């Protein structure tokens, strides 16, 4: 009844880094399209992209998009996810998909780790399902019976974002101050895109990877730990102290 979160990169722009480099070259080149594409092949993508992005030319990232299949997250997490407006979403409908057995649900770790609280949580989920099933059996439409289903209900989604929006998403949701479930989701999504576009997402993550924490008094105070987590390819000596 308690599913594991799963993220699969279903589709993405072919050669995403080359597409972004071509878009950037188009802005600064007088070559025709054929000449432009030929010149892109001989460019050091990492060096070129780092230079362009350091100038703040982030619109070029919009030319690479990524589509994810997501399952094992709660409705509470999906409500946070869809607040990121520059994206496309498809979600399992509680109106058209009836729960014919006890629905899958997510238990927060703070509850799951305490046996008595977990037992109470699971008991409530069972009671909710019984009421939901009763409504359906008495002819209540699923679109109305779903009103008793909780935020803990598991949902499935397909999400598409471009690279620019993903950077923004990772900046907010990989932060330790983000809610635990969407932070876990963001981490899995970041891991997927790094496999196919490591240059584009080399510096993706919370803002404290490249600057002092912008949260001020609300900071988690764990910036050095965060840097080590996201830059595991670097030695500890390479990770500067934040003062």
Nearest to 43 by CA among 14, 60, 20, 66: 20
3-state secondary structure of 198: coil
Nearest to 61 by CA among 119, 11, 20, 33: 20
Tokens of 107: 């238990």
Q: Rounded to an integer, what distance in angstroms lies between the CA atom of residue 23 and that of residue 28?
A: 9
Tokens of 41: 């092949």
Q: Which residues have a catalytic role annotated?
A: 173
Q: Rounded to an integer, what distance in angstroms lies between the CA atom of residue 227 and that of residue 222?
A: 9
239, with CB counted inside 10 A (0-12, 13-18, 19+), is middle
């Amino acid at each position: 009844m308690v599913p594991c979160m799963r993220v699969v990169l279903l589709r993405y722009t072919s050669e995403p880094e080359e597409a972004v480099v071509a878009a950037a070259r188009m802005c600064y080149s007088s070559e025709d399209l054929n000449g432009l594409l030929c010149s892109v092949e001989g460019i050091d993508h990492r060096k070129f992209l780092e230079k362009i992005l350091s100038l703040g030319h982030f619109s070029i990232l919009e030319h690479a998009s990524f589509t994810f299949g997501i399952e094992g997250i709660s409705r509470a997490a999906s409500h946070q996810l869809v607040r990121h407006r520059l994206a496309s979403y498809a979600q399992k409908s509680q109106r058209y998909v009836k729960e014919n057995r006890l629905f899958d649900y997510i238990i927060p770790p703070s509850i799951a780790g305490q046996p008595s609280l977990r037992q109470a949580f699971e008991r409530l989920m069972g009671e909710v399902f019984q009421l939901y099933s009763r409504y359906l059996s008495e002819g209540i439409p699923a679109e109305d019976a779903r009103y008793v289903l909780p935020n803990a209900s598991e949902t499935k989604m397909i999400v598409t974002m471009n690279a620019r929006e993903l950077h923004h998403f990772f900046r907010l949701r990989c932060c330790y101050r983000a809610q635990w479930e969407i932070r876990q989701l963001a981490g899995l999504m970041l891991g997927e895109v790094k496999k196919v576009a490591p240059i584009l997402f080399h510096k993706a993550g919370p803002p404290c990877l490249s600057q002092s924490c912008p949260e001020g008094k609300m900071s988690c105070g764990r910036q050095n730990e965060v840097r080590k987590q996201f830059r595991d390819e670097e030695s500890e000596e390479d990770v500067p102290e934040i003062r």
